[in-house]
Amino acid sequence: MIEQILSNMWYIRPEIALTITCLAAILADVFFKRKALVAGVVLGGLLASGVLLMEQYGVSAPAFSHMLAVDPFSVYFRGVILVTAMFVVLFSLSSVEINNPRLRVGEYYALIVAMTLGMTLMAGSSNMLMMYLSLELTSLSSYILAGFTKNAPASAEASLKYVIFGALSSGLMLYGISILYGLTGSLDIYAINHVLMTMGANRLALLIAGVLIMAGFGYKISAVPFHFWTPDVYEGAPVTITAFLSVASKAAGFSMLMRFMKVTFIDSTFAGPVGTWALIPGFEFTNILIVLSVLTMTLGNLVAVWQKNVKRLLAYSSIAHAGYMLMGLVVLGNDGFAAVLIYFVIYMFMNLGAFFVVMLVSNKTGSEHIDTYKGLGSRAPLLSVAMAIFLVSLTGLPPTAGFIGKLYLFAALINAKMIWLAIVGALNSVVSLYYYVLIFRNMFLREGTGSTEPLKFALSDNIILFLLLIPTLVLGLYFTPLVQFAQYSVAMFGVR
């Protein structure tokens, strides 16, 4: 037993590195009280964790008696989460909101690391208990981070709403888990799958359990109808945390949902062509996911049209993007999952980029209202062009990366003969064009009402902007390596 635990330590080395980083950040803060030093420690720790993660490339094994699965799928998502966390730390260094002298930033960075740790565990969890614990670690850290700017009432409100919704949905999820445990006698998702295949279960009870558990996941990925917290939290939280929640938290939720669905409810003995799956009888989750997906993207896009606060607008846009990605889960097959993985990397760059521009504008003007962007094209040409490219990419138009992401999603749907769902997705993209163009129009075609002085940004800000901008453009033209990596990373431990 002890030998097994010791030998399994290798599998959680990235997580151990994150734990040490979290403690080191706290100590660095109380010892030296230098904000830049704490950020440096955190960046170094995230980098070290990333290096340790790379060593796990190509491994596929269970760890700690099936508590965690270390496989290409979890390595891929942990990579996305770590890169996002690094960008968020970089954002935080130049955020005026976070560097307010009245705030203690040491805890802020330590909590970002704690949240990253929770999310990397979510990506690998293959036991319902581990899933719940890592979800709670992520949620508890994000509640505090969402309310970190204590002097802003909107931030406190966001935090409170987040806690209440989080408590409700994790309660629902736990209830679902308990029913599933009662039905199958196990919390290990591989064992649950085995029991469901050999003995089956009561259809109604299984449906209730599945729907309740999905409510927990749906809250994390902000799928309609579990999305109510999203706009308020995204608007109230500091921009850096909004960016973090909209990318990393969603990635972690998706990875957990995908692993749960694929391992638990897919027939592991199905002998069809490689890359196709069959559902085990009793719980047809694809029908639920189709409904969720259509609702999520339609509501997200339609409500975004009326938003006047750019952060809130991007919140609804991120709800819509969760809807697009859910389409990839409906396709029972590797190409659907691969499309989601491709989409996530692209979404990371374009969405972080859009939020970074929002942060830079609010650093200078103190406002996130859409009217602030009037005349920005002449005041900050580079920034405006970058924002335009991110918005075009979020819409999904060539030659940007967003187009490639949508292309693979729609291709997977059409191959699976779900053309009508692809049409719904395409129509939604058209709606989204309207509100993205609103920002575009304000930046380039409207005269500013206030100051017309050019906005100057630090060199470091411009470098971060380019770090996000270049992948958004390059992945639109040269995407083969990403696609191959994603297709390889679909593999999960123990399932075909």
Partner 1 sequence: MASYIPIFLMLAAAAGLGIILLTLHQVLGPKHPTEEKLSTYESGMSPIRTARERFSVKYYMVAVLFILFDIEVVFLYPWAVNFRALGVFGYVEMMIFIVILLVGYYYILRKGALKWD
Nearer Cβ to partner 1 (30/271): 30
Q: How far is the CB of 431 from partner 1 (least distance, A)?
A: 47
| Cβ atoms < 10 Å from Cβ of 8 | 17
| CB 56, CB 79: distance < 8 Å | no
Nearer Cβ to partner 1 (9/199): 9
**Under rule CB under 8 A, how many of the chain's residues touch partner 1?**
8
Q: How far is the CB of 141 from partner 1 (least distance, A)?
A: 15
Contacting residues for 31 by C-beta, under 8 A, at least 6 apart = none
Nearest to 313, CA basis, from 255, 248, 364, 373: 373
In degrees and rounded to multiples of 5, residue 61 shows phi and psi of: -155, 155
Both structure tokens of 362: 């609010």
Please tell me whether residue 6 binds partner 1 under the rule CB under 8 A: yes
The angle, 0 to 180 degrees and rounded to 10, between the axes of the packed helices 334-365 and 401-415 is: 150
d(CA 496, CA 491): 7
Question: Which range, of 19-27, 62-70, 79-87, 343-351, touches partner 1 by CB under 8 A?
Answer: 19-27
103 Ramachandran zone, left/alpha/beta (phi>0; psi -120 to 50): beta
Q: How far is the CB of 128 from partner 1 (least distance, A)?
A: 24
Nearest to 431, CA basis, from 325, 297, 307, 295: 297
Nearer Cβ to partner 1 (34/441): 34
Q: How far is the CB of 28 from partner 1 (least distance, A)?
A: 11
Contacting residues for 198 by C-beta, under 8 A, at least 6 apart = none
Q: How far is the CB of 6 from partner 1 (least distance, A)?
A: 7
Nearer Cβ to partner 1 (26/130): 26
| HSE-up (13 A, CA, CB side) for residue 318 | 35
Nearer Cβ to partner 1 (115/388): 115
Q: Chain-centre distance of CA 307, in angstroms? A: 22
Site string for partner 1, 76-95 (x = CB under 8 A): --------------------
Nearer Cβ to partner 1 (136/371): 136
Binders of partner 1 among 21-60, rule CB under 8 A? 23, 26-27, 30
Q: How far is the CB of 30 from partner 1 (least distance, A)?
A: 4
d(CA 280, CA 82): 34
Nearer Cβ to partner 1 (24/411): 24
Nearer Cβ to partner 1 (202/460): 202
Q: How far is the CB of 74 from partner 1 (least distance, A)?
A: 24
d(CA 284, CA 263): 14
Please tell me whether residue 2 binds partner 1 under the rule CB under 8 A: yes
Q: How far is the CB of 96 from partner 1 (least distance, A)?
A: 24
- Which stretches of the chain bind partner 1, using CB under 8 A? 2, 5-6, 19, 23, 26-27, 30
